[in-house]
């Protein structure tokens, strides 16, 4: 397996993780499909969403794969009046990652990361390794530390 930028970051800060590959399809990149392929609950896969706030600019939010983002709540906790998802066509230029492969780790630039507080109820979680078809599994505490993330309640 080829190591991604996300893996290299974890290696640098000496955080243990495992990598898991799965077959992917362009029309099935959602967290529930990925969870099914990996044989885990969608609540353990934290999808990374990229938003632009009207005051702070770009930031990342990680939420469980079986939940939806409350955009008003995340705008508020991130210091914005409004926030919106960035366009899919802008993902790679902003983060260095493509749709279905966005990771909160090792991106092109370090953006603020917010993780839904429900992560505290889980020992082990998974996030994209920065490439479609590749997931990183690590402890929830290690993910929070590696991202220097703030815990927030932002799911509907």
pLDDT in tens, 105-134: 999 999 999 999 999 999 999 999 999 999
Confirm if 86 and 50 have CB atoms less than 8 A apart: yes
Contacts of 141 (CB under 8 A, 6+ apart): none
Distance of alpha carbon 66 from alpha carbon 68, whole angstroms: 7
Confirm if 34 and 65 have CB atoms less than 8 A apart: yes
pLDDT in tens, 52-81: 999 999 999 999 999 999 999 999 999 999
Distance of alpha carbon 25 from alpha carbon 79, whole angstroms: 36
Q: What fold characterizes domain 5-152? A: YbaK protein (3.90.960)
Of residues 156, 109, 110, 99, the one with CA closest to residue 132: 99
Q: Is the pTM of this model over 0.75?
A: yes
């Amino acid at each position: 397996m080829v190591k991604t930028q996300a893996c290299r970051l974890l290696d640098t800060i000496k955080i243990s993780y495992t990598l898991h590959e799965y077959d992917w399809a362009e029309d099935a990149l959602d967290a529930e499909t990925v969870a099914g392929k990996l044989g885990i609950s969608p609540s353990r896969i934290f999808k990374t969403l990229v938003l632009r706030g009207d005051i702070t600019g770009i930031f990342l939010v990680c939420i469980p794969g079986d939940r939806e983002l409350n955009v008003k709540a995340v705008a508020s906790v991130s210091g914005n009046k409004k926030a919106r998802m960035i366009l899919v066509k802008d993902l790679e230029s902003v983060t260095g990652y493509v749709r279905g492969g966005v990771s909160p780790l090792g991106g092109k630039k370090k953006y603020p990361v917010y993780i839904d507080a429900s992560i505290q109820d889980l020992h082990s979680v998974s996030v994209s390794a920065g490439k479609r078809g590749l997931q990183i599994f690590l402890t929830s505490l290690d993910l929070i530390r590696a991202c220097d993330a703030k815990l927030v309640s932002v799911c509907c």
